[in-house]
Amino acid sequence: MRGNSFGKMLSITSFGESHGPAMGVVIDGVPAGLKFCEKELVKQLQKRAPGFVAGVTSRKEPDSPKILSGIFENLTLGTPIAVIIENTNQLSGDYEKLKDSYRPGHADLTTIQKYGIRDHRGGGRSSGRETVARVIGGYFASLIMPTLKVRAFTSTIGKFKSTQELPANFFEMDLGPYSYLENNKWDEIKQYLLDLKKNGESVGGRVGIVIDNCPAGLGEPAFDKLKADLAKAFMSIGGCTAFSYGLGEKFADLTGSEVSSSVDSFGGIEGGISNSLRITMSITFKPTSTIGEKAKQGRHDPCIVPRAIPVVEAMAQLVLADHYLRQNAYNQRG
């Protein structure tokens, strides 16, 4: 199996299965001398960790990182950083009923078709637990661009569709357990997800991503455009089915004059290169594949959007830090 690595100047390689001994990641390309804070890493991991938010999977993992290499006296060494997260709350028996059945939209059938074997316990490499490696990688990427601001939020979760404009204090405001702008809906969303879980049903949703303080010049035409790498980063997250930036699909309904009337139309990216303005993107997640009695009996998310938020932010951090290092290499000409 290939395809377990992401990035060029800054890269991550994730490994492990959700019901194996541990999940892990190797981050290569992190410059030396950056200050490492384990508490901040744990804080990021807890945003993604299962079992802490009502209405998501009941699997509860502490997600305590164990640093194997690349850090000395709380500073990065410039060498590969290896981190593992032990799996401590596995109930593999919950997945026995999935052993000989294939969930539509999941990788169950296609994994068998491709490899002839699969680990049905939690989905193996296709499990959402794989994303713990991405969050770790995103934390280290954030050390490279400390002034960059990246935040994802839930714009749609099932029947709830936020209509609130982004406030001026968006990056500082409390978005609650579901990363939803309208705090008067938080309790309703909680009950909605609990009811879905009780009934063995699932829903999809949309996530908005906002990035401030991104320097101009990031992006490599023609195949490594910034928009292309961001699209790949987000679409590589399990359950993500669509990506857009700026006006996105609205471009199809507008004239050139209408589009050109505002530079904001392009969401901070022109010609595949960042232009220093705010970057705005949107991605869509499908409903969780496990439904019905199998969902009731196992530990599955009725909607993956709430726990996907930190993963989305991490992938954005990884892409931008990678392109920043590439651009910095160009600037070293003497």
Model confidence at 102, pLDDT cuts 50, 70, 90, reads confident
User: Between 147 and 127, whose confidence is greater?
Assistant: 147
pLDDT tens digits, one per residue of 250-287 = 999 999 999 998 889 999 999 999 999 999 999 999 99
pLDDT averaged over every residue in the chain:
90
- Percentage with pLDDT > 70 across the chain: 90
pLDDT tens digits, one per residue of 209-250 = 999 999 999 999 999 999 999 999 999 999 999 999 999 999
Cα 248 to Cα 32, 143, 167, 254: the distances in Å are 38, 30, 21, 11
- Please give the domain boundaries of the chain with CATH numbers for all domains: 5-330 (3.60.150.10)
Say if residue 166's pLDDT is above 90: yes
Say if residue 57's pLDDT is above 80: no
Q: What's the rounded mean pLDDT across residues 96-106?
A: 74
Model confidence at 334, pLDDT cuts 50, 70, 90, reads very low
For 96, the token pair is 């026995």
pLDDT tens digits, one per residue of 2-33 = 899 999 999 999 999 888 889 999 999 999 99
Model confidence at 96, pLDDT cuts 50, 70, 90, reads low
pTM, full prediction: 0.92
Q: What's the rounded mean pLDDT across residues 115-142?
A: 87
pLDDT at 61: 66
pLDDT at 58: 59
pLDDT at 50: 65
Three-state SS string over the chain comes to CCCCEECCCCEEEEECCCCCCEEEEEEECCCCCCECCHHHHHHHHHHHCCCCCCCCCCCCCCCCEEEEECEECCEECCCCEEEEEECCCCCHHHHHHHCCCCCCCCCHHHHHHHHCCCCCCCCHHHCHHHHHHHHHHHHHHHHHCCCCEEEEEEEEECCEECCCCCCCCCCCCCCCCCCECCHHHHHHHHHHHHHHHHHCCCCCEEEEEEEECCCCCCCECCCECHHHHHHHHHHCCCCEEEEEECCHHHHHHCCHHHHHCCHHHHCCEECCEECCCCEEEEEEECCCCCCHHHHHHCCCCCCCHHHHHHHHHHHHHHHHHHHHHHHHHHCCCC
For 233, the token pair is 């980063």
